[in-house]
Amino acid sequence: MRFEKYTSENLQYVVRYPKDYKEGEEYPVIILLHGAGGRGNDIEVLKNNPYFKITGEREDFPFVTVAPLCSGNTWFDLFEQLKRLVYKIGNETFTDKERIYLMGPSMGGYGTWQLAMSMPEFYAAIVPICGGGMYWNASRLVNVPVWAFHGALDTTVKLEESEKMVEAVNNNGGSARLTVYPENAHNAWSDTYSNREVFDWLLSHKNRNLRELTDIYNNSEIYG
């Protein structure tokens, strides 16, 4: 698999192309948001991310993966740049616009939830891993299938963070599921990246964002 390095608005990112990549063809795209351990300014660190190590062992891995580098304290420090990068990737010639997926662990799990709620029309499905988010806003994901993962013994990000988000999505009419690893602490990503079913599940979804989004929190007298 081939890696290339790029920069957009001072946001560095790598793109890994599948083994038999051909210019001019469209591919399913995973946008990967790494966890806090990958922060910094050295783009080469991303190539050693567990996602790339584990999925790189698959000769038949069909996705183009786009992984930006967080040079700030959290993804929220770079959020507007991150959103514009998603727009840019959505317009790349290699991108199948119906099959853009979002995935990330820990800090990247929080980023995955928030980026999906901020621009849900872009994603066919998302996989947030040991993250959490603003569950009061989960109605934004009514059209976006979610498969979340968390370790039962996680003391870094509590399991209830994923539970609240998944419950809120489903309570608002969406489709979310949660897999809990009973023996795992914070590392819920290695088992997830190793699971072929996760990536088959992603490929089973195309973007069908047809239901109208509504904002029920627009009364400042009640919601501040």
Q: Quick: pLDDT tens for 161-175.
A: 999 999 999 999 999
Q: Is 168 strand, coil or helix?
A: helix
Q: With 90 as the cut, is the pLDDT of residue 1 above it?
A: no
Top mean pLDDT of 34-43, 110-119, 206-215 is at 110-119
The strand order across the sheet containing 176-181 reads 2-8, 11-17, 64-68, 27-32, 95-105, 125-129, 146-151, 176-181
The answer to whether residue 214 sits within a structural domain is no
* pTM of structure: 0.92
Instruction: Tell me the residue range of the domain where 8 lies.
Output: 2-207
CB within 8 Å of 160: residues ≥ 6 apart: none
The answer to whether residue 187 sits within a structural domain is yes
What pLDDT is attached to residue 213?
43
Mean pLDDT of the 113-117 span: 97
Task: Return phi, psi of residue 156, to 5°.
Answer: -80, -50
Mean pLDDT of the 129-146 span: 96
The answer to whether residue 103 sits within a structural domain is yes
The answer to whether residue 215 sits within a structural domain is no
Domain of residue 124, CATH code: 3.40.50.1820
The answer to whether residue 90 sits within a structural domain is yes
The answer to whether residue 217 sits within a structural domain is no
Mean pLDDT (the chain, rounded): 93
The answer to whether residue 108 sits within a structural domain is yes
Domain tally for the chain?
A: 1
The answer to whether residue 47 sits within a structural domain is yes
What pLDDT is attached to residue 208?
76
Residues 16-39: tens digit of each pLDDT: 999 999 999 999 999 999 999 999
Q: With 80 as the cut, is the pLDDT of residue 216 above it?
A: no
Residues 43-83: tens digit of each pLDDT: 988 889 999 999 999 999 999 999 999 999 999 999 999 99
Q: With 90 as the cut, is the pLDDT of residue 152 above it?
A: yes
Among residues 85, 82, 96, the alpha carbon closest in space to that of 18 is found at 96
What pLDDT is attached to residue 215?
52
Comparing 62-66, 109-113, 215-219, which segment has the lowest mean pLDDT? 215-219
What pLDDT is attached to residue 221?
59
